Amino acid sequence: MKTLLATAGLLLAMFAPVACAQEPADEGLTEALHTVSLSGGSTLNVLISRRSGSAPDIAVLLFAGYPGVLRLREEGGTVVFDLAGNFLLRARRHLNSDRVHTVVVDCPAERLSDCGDTYRSSAQHASDISDVVTWLREKQGAKQVYVAGTSYGTVSTSFLARGLHGRIDGAIHTATFTDPRAGRNSHGTPMAAFDWSLAKVPQLFVHHRNDPCDLTRYSSVVSRRAALPLITVEGVSNPRGKACLALTEHGFVGRERPVMLAIHAWIVDRTVAAVID
């Protein structure tokens, strides 16, 4: 198992590279790249971030947006990965605290060319992440483990919430994928009729009221979440790029810190801020 001090490259958007000026996503963090051996024979890379000088025992696994393939790797002594501009990845420092630390999750090595709907909705995906959970508990001192996804990453967190009952302590779905397009090249199709109420672990939705992406409509989350808690986000700072990319309301641009702090509050004491404005 390989451990390396890491810093993360930025300036990438959720679907494609987008130039943007922002504070380092790893500011104040100590980070390490690890390779986890999976029971199915493959391996999966994760990037563990902790607030420097802290010893948190709550781990939150982060699942980025489409396509969710990060290719976590070392280049010249530095850890780099794709999709670094994704909301959860660029804002991870705000979720880290003395109690909580984050785990950026890549796709398994054998899935780097195909980590789509079939895999994310499968028992194999649940088994692979269960192996990561076991490793975090046994090797990294985690006492609680949560999964958090954004946009396409919520395909993973939604199915894991149902498939990992008794293995995880909760799931957070942000900018939840609810409205897949029809057609051969569509993705997220398992979410068209997904029922989150079937999961037996605590769940939280976080969604921007003005999310412009037609795949993640706010109205769909409101109508389909049943009695599950929802944090509604308002406000934005300098949105740019296409509607479903990471630097619009879809990616909570300019609201990263309050959104992550609200997620943290729900994780540690189940506080729900109805609206973040």
SS3 call for 237:
coil
Q: Is the pLDDT of residue 21 over 70?
A: no
Q: Over the stretch 55-113, which tens digit does the pLDDT of each residue have?
A: 999 999 999 999 999 999 999 989 999 999 999 999 999 999 999 999 999 999 999 99
pLDDT band at 183 (very low <50, low <70, confident <90, very high): confident
Q: Is the pLDDT of residue 185 over 80?
A: no
Q: Is the pLDDT of residue 186 over 90?
A: no
Query: What does the angle CA 156 – CA 168 – CA 71 come to, to the nearest 5 degrees?
Result: 40
The neighbour count for residue 167, using CB atoms within 10 Å, is: 16
pLDDT of 52 reads 96
> How big is the chain, counted in residues?
277
The neighbour count for residue 10, using CB atoms within 10 Å, is: 17
Q: Is the pLDDT of residue 53 over 90?
A: yes
Count Cβ atoms within 10 A of the Cβ of residue 226 and give its class: 0-12 exposed, 13-18 middle, 19 or more buried: exposed
Q: Which residue has the higher pLDDT, 6 or 57?
A: 57
Q: Is the pLDDT of residue 7 over 80?
A: no
* Domain range for 136: 4-276
pLDDT of 184 reads 66
Q: Cα 242 from chain centroid?
A: 20
Q: Is the pLDDT of residue 9 over 80?
A: no
Q: Which residues of 144-162 are buried (b: 16+ CB within 10 A; e: fewer)?
A: bbbbbbbbbbbbbbbbbbb
Q: What is the chain's mean pLDDT, rounded?
A: 91
pLDDT band at 169 (very low <50, low <70, confident <90, very high): very high
Q: Which residues pair with 34 in a beta bridge?
A: 46
Q: Is the pLDDT of residue 6 over 60?
A: no
Side chain identity, residue 186: S
Rounded Cα–Cα distance for residues 3 and 35 (Å):
8
- Asked whether the beta carbons of 82 and 106 are under 8 A apart, the reply is no
What CATH number should be reported for the domain holding residue 159?
Answer: 3.40.50.1820
pTM score, two decimals?
0.91
165-179 mean pLDDT: 97
pLDDT of 22 reads 52
- How many domains does the chain contain in total? 1
Q: Over the stretch 215-248, which tens digit does the pLDDT of each residue have?
A: 999 999 999 999 999 999 999 999 999 999 999 9
Rounded Cα–Cα distance for residues 127 and 263 (Å):
26
Q: Over the stretch 107-161, which tens digit does the pLDDT of each residue have?
A: 999 999 999 999 999 999 999 999 999 999 999 999 999 999 999 999 999 999 9
Rounded Cα–Cα distance for residues 29 and 90 (Å):
12
